[in-house]
Amino acid sequence: MNPEKVRVRFAPSPTGPLHLGGVRTALYNYLFARKHGGDFILRIEDTDRQRFVNGAEQYIIESLNWCGIHFDEDVVKGGPYSPYRQSDRSSLYKHHIGLLLNSGHAYYAFDSAAELEEKRKQGHTSGMDQFQYNFKTRMLMKNSLSLPEQEVRNRIARGEAYVVRIRIPEEEVVVFNDIIRGEITVHTGTLDDKVLFKSDGLPTYHLANVVDDYLMKISHVIRGEEWLPSAPMHLLLYRFFGWEENMPKFAHLPLILKPEGNGKLSKRDGDRLGFPVFPLAWTDPVTGDISHGYREDGYLPEAFINILALLGWNPGTEKELFSMEELIQSFSIERVGKHGSKFDPEKAKWFNHQYLIHQPDNELLRIMKNYLTQRDISALDDYVLRVVHLTKERANLTGDLWSNSWFFFQAPLSFDEKAKNKIWQPTTGEIVREFATEIKLSVDFNKDVLHVIATNFTERKQIKLGQLLTPLRLLIVGSNQGPGIMDVAEILGKQEFLSRIETGLSKMGEC
Ligand code: GLU
């Protein structure tokens, strides 16, 4: 295998729906792989069975698929380093924890959860530093370093529950280079003896992650900043296994921040401010709670990806709209900033608007037909095309395509009260009726003809154009919103136009 070959991975834990920060991590890995002609791998890190959530793995795969982020090796299509789901690789981790135990870099620990909790409480009440299982405390605990060898053997033979912890050296300095953050120096004395292997016979994230990155020949680890504190321990593991030469390069991505900028963007922020933080809608399998998703809320995947790409990466130019191909060309990990980027929900809508208005009308037709089918409305393609062409400019979300144009497909059942009170005068009904009579007599029916007739009519009546058009709009559309009423009329056609006026007038009690 070519040691220079770029191989990156996205390694989610199926503990719930994928946060948009997770999608961004996957995206940056994907862009990096594609840019460098490398491989992109999906590895499911599901060894924490307590946090495992049913359906999360499928959700992650479907989300990335929707985003257009595709893998070269994954749990579905497999690959040269199969299996790609950690729960299917347990014998590998058992073997590797054995190596660390033999070399003295790891040890058995028998302390029960209750005993550890007690220690934590003691630390808390005595005002001492928070309890850490480390070089200072490990000899006071029940483990294979503090207990006689025979007792350790007996406990294991009796089937007593144990975990395996890493033995962090007391006084060493770990130095490594993070592509985004530069040189990072950590004294091992500040690290604790984390659990590598649990009593359920499965590894923790740390062991499985390092073993797999090595075995899968990962060249670069690009992941969220929350993993930065774990990196020094991971480096020690590479050293303990004797894999330092093949250690991947690290890049820890900055956080995506709340719109106000204070802290990490959370689902609560989305709920509070009315925007989704997940790519797809998600139904919690336990509580049944439904969370919004960008797809269902009417975002196009291209827009969603574009939004995420710019949350942390700076192209170095003013350009804001990037297709996936352009992102692949322009992306560089060196241009990812150290500092978090604020998520701006309004800007997200702006991106989607840009993508919507630049969609070919045929694509908008496809989207619009979904809304029509859901409502059992049938309409000719040509008609729908004219509607979307006229209304797309006002759409931010795909749902706006429908909400801005529903009146092309059904007559209003009622009229906006506020608008009606403002617009409707005692003479209005008569004005509209007379105008309708003139339209009836006209041979041609299009917006230009309508405009000429309306202008002549209002001049003759010595009223303002608005005194005719605003009430007309109310009758045709049901409110004083929407595109130019002459455009609406032209698409509706003469018959429907006149029939709405007639029905509208009778609803207004004007006949
Ligand atoms: N399983 C970890 C997560 O869910 C992966 C972190 C990493 O990429 O190393 O974030």
Secondary structure (3-state) at 499: helix
Q: Is 57 left (phi over 0), alpha (psi -120 to 50) or beta?
A: alpha
Name beta bridge partners: 290: 283
Tell me: pLDDT of 203 over 90: yes
Closest residue to atom 2 of ligand 1, CA basis: 12
pLDDT-derived band at 322 (thresholds 50, 70, 90) equals: very high
Instruction: State yes or no: pLDDT of 4 exceeds 90.
Output: no
Query: Is the CB of residue 14 below 6 angstroms from any atom belonging to ligand 1?
Result: no
Whole-angstrom distance, CA of residue 280 vs CA of residue 274 = 15
What does the pLDDT read at residue 462? 97
- Residue pair 188/174 in contact (Cβ under 8 Å)? The answer is yes
Residue closest via CA to ligand 1's atom 5 equals 11
Q: How far apart are CA 333 and CA 240, in angstroms?
A: 29
Catalytic residues: 267
Is the CB–ligand 1 distance for residue 223 below 6 Å? yes
Ligand 1 in contact with 212 (CB < 6 A)?
no
Residue 442 has pLDDT above 50, yes or no: yes
Return the residue matching tokens 């990072």: 184
pLDDT-derived band at 124 (thresholds 50, 70, 90) equals low
Compute, in angstroms, the gap from residue 38 CA to the centroid of ligand 1.
Answer: 20
Query: 205 in ligand 1 pocket by Cβ < 6 Å?
Result: yes
- Position 511 pLDDT exceeds 70: no
CB 322 within 8 A of CB 351: no
pLDDT tens digits for 78-111?
A: 999 999 999 999 999 999 999 999 999 999 999 9
From atom 3 of ligand 1, which residue's Cα is the shortest distance away?
Answer: 12
- Share above pLDDT 90 across residues of the chain, in percent, rounded to a whole number: 95
CA of 442 to the centre of ligand 1 (A): 70
CA distance 288 to 192: 38
Distance 282 CA to ligand 1 centre (A): 21
CA distance 145 to 490: 86
Pocket test for ligand 1, best of 27, 40, 205 (most atoms within 8 A of CB): 205
Residue-wise pLDDT for 344-395, tens only, equals 999 999 999 999 999 999 999 999 999 999 999 999 999 999 999 999 999 9
Q: 421, exposed or middle or buried, with CB in 10 Å at 0-12, 13-18, 19+?
A: exposed
For residue 222, the CA-to-ligand 1 centroid distance in Å is 9
Number of neighbours of residue 460 by Cβ within 10 angstroms: 10
Ligand 1 neighbourhood includes 25 CB (under 6 angstroms): no
The yes-or-no verdict on residue 126 having pLDDT over 80 is no
Report whether residue 227 contacts ligand 1, using a CB cutoff of 6 Å: yes
For the stretch 408-421, pLDDT in tens is 999 999 999 999 99
User: How large is the average pLDDT for residues 270-283?
Assistant: 97
Residue with tokens 């370093």: 145
Q: How confident is the model at residue 213 (pLDDT cuts 50, 70, 90)?
A: very high
Strand 290-291 to 282-283 pairing: antiparallel
From the CA of 9, how far away is ligand 1's center (Å)? Answer: 10
Quick one: pLDDT band at residue 129, thresholds 50, 70, 90? confident
Q: Is ligand 1 within 6 A of the CB of residue 16?
A: no
* Residue 301 contacts residue 68 (beta carbons within 8 Å): yes
Cα(57)–Cα(78) distance, rounded to whole angstroms? 15
The confidence score (pLDDT) of residue 1 equals 43
Label residue 114 by pLDDT band (50, 70, 90). very high
Tell me the pTM.
0.93
Q: Is the pLDDT of residue 2 over 70?
A: no
Q: How confident is the model at residue 510 (pLDDT cuts 50, 70, 90)?
A: confident
